[in-house]
Chain A
């Protein structure tokens, strides 16, 4: 068993990281030097998950969200999708394994992956609305959020949701308030089978190896860790029994990257754009200096008068 993290402190404790521990800040730069802290990670072992939704309940209770009561749409997934009030969600897939002809009920806890290279942060136009702490946590700063939804387009995992109430973006914070005092996120604390564990990223990889060995011994020869390099790795990782087919787990992207469109738009795009506009303006100025004003001459007026002579309106 992964040793439990001791119960939370109730005495005032100073946070383990703060604004001066930012390594990335949306639409702005971080005050150097941004020194790296020990990276944290949440490991979700799908092969141990029983889909009980304790993580969802714990998330709601800790973050004081108010998800509305929905309806049954013919599946166990409730709510049917992530919402501004539901930061994490069990997604259930019924998959018949072609090799064994056995049914496998694959249950994946969806939510923010806390990418090392966060697409949301890259896309965000509001300075400081999205930050990445030195321990890897990607967090939304709601005071700075303008609700444009660019983060939604920047995210390779379709995670952020915009609130219809306050028009701000919401997602899992990895319980930054808990991690700040040495706790794990609420979902991890609750998880009955320890399908969710939390610690430093190195520990999590070590633990994942331990789990993958067990899975391989049970015939899941493709068991593996999901820590996609396309986004520089993530601070939420999965152990999958079929790591060769991430898409069978409710469309987990095979090789997620920040969309090239977003890269183009938020990369060269914005510089080229400014450049082009600048050039146009400059060209005008230069032309005026060279060519000077294009003035109507007295002759022109005279010609006009001549043309209109004798005609009375």
Chain B
């Protein structure tokens, strides 16, 4: 549904100064023309476009992900290029040096790919299965909660709090992730529950 918006974009509502570039007008003559020896074939041809939002600052620039393969068709998709979305009111297709290099963060050599565990005193991470990892985590959390949960304070008031374990919520996740996190964590009575709003 995000693709339907026509590309007329802002050319209709051009701001001050000249009324849009005549780029489309120049050169285009012979439809059969082949790329010149020096000119690389246009690399976005036959890629799939997906509208997304830059992950960095709260300007939240519109971006377009170009991928080989289409998730909407149930295919695996490899992102091959990322560029600003010219239709976006805020950034108008522009991006900052971080945004312009988004592709290299998606493909960073230091992306995490498997659950890992560093055992007490060890000097390295070892691979571990998701089940093992999640069970470990939940075990520790429950044992701690059962041990340190405070139902009543000294005054006998029901306070139902748990302050010996905590979570630092993400800042780059969606509202939806935030809400799921809120439900899961608050329902345990956890209070040491913060985010990065401050830094």
Contact = CB atoms under 8 A, between A and B. Distances in A.
- Tell me, yes or no, whether A and B come into direct contact in the complex with CB atoms closer than 8 A: yes
Nearest to B81: A61
A7 B101 CA distance: 18
A282 interface: no
A128 B38 CA distance: 10
A2 B26 contact: no
B110 to A, nearest CB: 14
Contacts of B94: 4, 54, 189-194
Interface stretch (B13-21, B124-132, B148-156, B163-171): B13-21
Contacts of B11: 3, 6
A209 to B, nearest CB: 9
B26 A38 contact: yes
Interface in A14-49: 14-22, 37-40
A13 B42 contact: yes
B97 interface: yes
Interface string A103-138: 000000000000000000000000010010111000
B99 A54 contact: yes
B44 to A, nearest CB: 5
- Is the interface on chain A under 10, 10 to 19, 20 to 34, or 35 or more residues? 35 or more
A128 B98 CA distance: 37
A203 interface: yes
B86 interface: yes
A178 B29 CA distance: 16
Contacts of A92: none
A104 to B, nearest CB: 22
- Which of B23, B32, B42, B99 has its CB near the most chain A CB atoms (within 10 A)? B23
A141 B44 CA distance: 22
Contacts of A12: 45-46
A184 B26 CA distance: 12
**Closest 5 A/B residue pairs (Cβ):** A38-B26, A16-B27, A199-B21, A1-B15, A57-B100
Interface of A: 1-22, 37-40, 52-54, 56-58, 60-62, 128, 131, 133-135, 139-144, 173, 176-184, 186, 189-194, 198-200, 203, 206-207, 210
